Structure 1
Amino acid sequence: MTQQVIIFDFDGTIADTVDALVTIANRLAIEFGYIQITPEELSLLRNFTSREIIKYLGISFFKIPSLLKKVKGELKYKIKEFKPIPGIYEALIELQNEGYRLGIITSNSQENVTAFLENNELEHLFEFIYSGVTIFGKTTIINNVLRKKQLKTQAVIYVGDETRDIEASKKANIKVIAVAWGFNSPEALAKQNPDFLINHPSELLEVIKQC
């Protein structure tokens, strides 16, 4: 039997960074010419896809690469403050003990992710970290990782907290577990028809065994 590889998103899935990302986004709103996010609007945006959020806020497509670069730069100075999602450490240990290979694919920087993992004693759990700038999804990055690591699609499961994670995984023909503790609401995630939708990291192992 082929050993399964579980690939995780980082922000909102492993690291509790959603509130910090909203704060940074609001601070950069004037510079990049889009509207700021009020607490009421945040509740609304959690039900939107990435495309819908960009349209709602009025973010220029041409400015997105520069905006992402700036956000990652600002996160670098706060990375020591971030903590893992409650329960994720135990879930990752459990998966490793069961023999699963673990990796990360993220639009955050590899430097930020590595620093976070080291600060929280998680670095020994992951076989690889791949970072890439994406606007709507991670399909290209996922496919590149599958090719570089010589992974079969049927042996890979992606775990993420956004609708774009589900969309990218489906395009890459890999199974996807959506998690309800990150950015997008459970309702928004369910509409994208992930293979599984879970509410707590303690559910990961049981669900993965069903894949």
Structure 2
Amino acid sequence: MTRKNILIKDALGNKVSGVLSIPKDASFVVVMSHGFTSNRNSRLYIQLEKELNAKNIGTVRYEYYGHGLAYGHKKRGLSNDTTITKTVESLKSIIKYLRQRGYNRIGLVGSSFGGLISLIVASQDKKFEFLLLRSPVTNVIELWNERVSGSKNKILHEWKNNDIFHYNREEVEYDLKWEFWTDMQKYNMLKIGEKISCPIFIVHGDKDEIVPIKYSEDFSKTVGARLKIIKGSNHSYSNPKNFIEMKSSIKDFVLKQTESKIKTIIFDWNGVIGDSLALDHFIFLQECKRDGVKAPKSLAFYRNLFNENIFVSMKKLGFVFDDMDEKYKQLYQKHISMSKIFPGMKSVLRCLKKKYSLVLITSNYQCNVDSFIKKYKLEGVFDSILTADTSHSKEANIKNFLIKLSLKKKEVITVGDTVMDIKSARKNGLKIISTVWGYQSKRTLVANNPDYVANKPEDIIKIIGEING
């Protein structure tokens, strides 16, 4: 267990203090942002730290700009020059600190104003696993318009002229400089929220007297966030039953999000991405004629060769592999115009690339793959490509790839179109999505019990999304 107090500086040179508590083998860290005038020692965050650490999940309780001991506040309070922009930089510095130390799976938890900060940072950075907001400020401009309502123009005039606004309501008292108001105008939270790509979960009491629940209701509808309403709860969840329900909802969500999820997708090429069945069947017939191999000419017979490793099937038919690889490459390159990309696959790959590491492992050859990628402008889509030039065994290529990158099998899934693809995945302890538009029929594939079946390219996105919750 690594547990220590940290004191760092953000990009603006301002101090950021926190408590780092990370179990030895933890790969996931939750960063918790407190509320306005509060600090890192809130009852909720201390309890979550203990309970999440017990589940091998790391935590960071920190204090953003103007708050906590680093700024002279032992309990509640804040510096009068606090702004949203300054507090956002505080959280960003904590994220940078963690990533520099190898912690890349990070989730954000934010309470009230801390939810506002977390929301802004999540909109600027697509790498977070989730965003959890407790009674968050999701419309800061409207909230503050209400706080200065009544004699609004007079209050704003005095605030601007005096450079100080004295707030004294709901048993909270503090001063804020005019800069807070002007800085706040930059943050249209509904537009900012639409930029967030990670899962968002909001917990809010329907009797909140500080931040009305209507803000969370409007925000959740706009950005598609999940909203959990705690009936009868105020802003501080002072009722013990409300507090327990709120904390349980947060903890359950975090535990669900920190389960192993798909990170890497291994694609087959022919029959999944490339529509090359007709070309490969044509080459097969040419090779039979050239080498004097007597075999049925039907497409149905050729398809059944993929019930096992295609190279093994070819050897059983009597093919000699002395120069077959080179002859196949020559024929494929000569007739490569027959190899098309399946409709919809390019957009599916582009979409998946935004969230996952994509790998191509095929029983075809590098030169053919390179020509196809260039033809359809797929450069940069795949992080790794392994072909028959490395090994005729797809099973071995997958195994070696997993070992080389030390990948967790629960975080990898394969996509293939043949019975052999199913067998290769199983032997490597991986799950597979079988595609029905490739070399073998849906009936043949289903008979071999793949984990999932994609009837169209878009189903791949849907299936992986459902797996990851």
| Shorter-chain TM-score range | 0.7 to 0.9
Could you tell me which amino acid in structure 1 is paired with residue 300 of structure 2?
Answer: S
SS of corresponding position for 1:142: helix
Does residue 110 of structure 1 match 2:366?
A: yes
SS of corresponding position for 1:102: strand
Match of 1:79 among 326, 331, 336: 336
Instruction: Quickly say closer, same or farther: Cα 1:175–1:124, change in 2 above 3 A.
Output: same
Match of 2:427 among 162, 171, 178: 171
TM-score when normalising by structure 1: 0.85
Could you tell me which amino acid in structure 1 is paired with residue 403 of structure 2?
Answer: R
Runs of 5+ in structure 2 lacking a partner? 1-257
Per-residue CA distance 1:58-114 (angstroms, 9 max, x = gap): 612x625743443233212233553211111111112112x1110100111112112
Query: Take 1:109 and 1:56, find their aligned partners in 2: how far apart are those partners?
Result: 16
8 Å Cα contact 2:281-2:302 kept in structure 1: no
Q: CA deviation at 1:196?
A: 0.7
Instruction: Quickly say closer, same or farther: Cα 1:27–1:176, change in 2 above 3 A.
Output: same
8 Å Cα contact 2:329-2:367 kept in structure 1: no
Residue 146 of structure 1: aligned partner? 402
Per-residue CA distance 1:6-61 (angstroms, 9 max, x = gap): 111111111111100100110110233323553xx31355356237997699612x
Residue 10 of structure 1: aligned partner? 269
Query: Take 2:313 and 2:421, find their aligned partners in 1: how far apart are those partners?
Result: 19
Match of 2:283 among 8, 20, 24: 24
Instruction: Quickly say closer, same or farther: Cα 1:89–1:171, change in 2 above 3 A.
Output: same
8 Å Cα contact 2:309-2:420 kept in structure 1: no
Query: Take 1:72 and 1:148, find their aligned partners in 2: how far apart are those partners?
Result: 28
Match of 2:446 among 180, 187, 190: 190
Runs of 5+ in structure 1 lacking a partner? none
- Structure 1 range deviating more: 186-195 or 65-74: 65-74
Between structure 1 and structure 2, the one with the greater Rg is 2
Match of 2:380 among 121, 124, 127: 124
SS of corresponding position for 1:21: helix
Does residue 157 of structure 1 match 2:416?
A: no
SS of corresponding position for 1:93: helix
Q: CA RMSD in A?
A: 2.6
Could you tell me which amino acid in structure 2 is paired with residue 166 of structure 1?
Answer: I
Could you tell me which amino acid in structure 1 is paired with residue 276 of structure 2?
Answer: T
8 Å Cα contact 1:35-1:57 kept in structure 2: no
Instruction: Quickly say closer, same or farther: Cα 1:56–1:206, change in 2 above 3 A.
Output: same
Q: CA deviation at 1:192?
A: 1.4
TM-score when normalising by structure 2: 0.40
Q: Where is the helix percentage greater, Structure 1 or Structure 2?
A: 1
Residue 44 of structure 2: aligned partner? none
Q: CA deviation at 1:117?
A: 0.6
Q: CA deviation at 1:181?
A: 0.6
8 Å Cα contact 2:418-2:434 kept in structure 1: yes
Query: Take 1:147 and 1:177, find their aligned partners in 2: how far apart are those partners?
Result: 22
Q: Where is the strand percentage greater, Structure 1 or Structure 2?
A: 2
Could you tell me which amino acid in structure 2 is paired with residue 115 of structure 1?
Answer: S
8 Å Cα contact 1:22-1:37 kept in structure 2: no
8 Å Cα contact 2:432-2:450 kept in structure 1: yes
Per-residue CA distance 1:111-130 (angstroms, 9 max, x = gap): 21122111101122111111
Instruction: Quickly say closer, same or farther: Cα 1:128–1:57, change in 2 above 3 A.
Output: closer
- Structure 1 range deviating more: 198-207 or 46-55: 46-55
Residue 50 of structure 1: aligned partner? 308
Residue 181 of structure 1: aligned partner? 437
Instruction: Quickly say closer, same or farther: Cα 1:188–1:31, change in 2 above 3 A.
Output: same
8 Å Cα contact 2:278-2:338 kept in structure 1: no
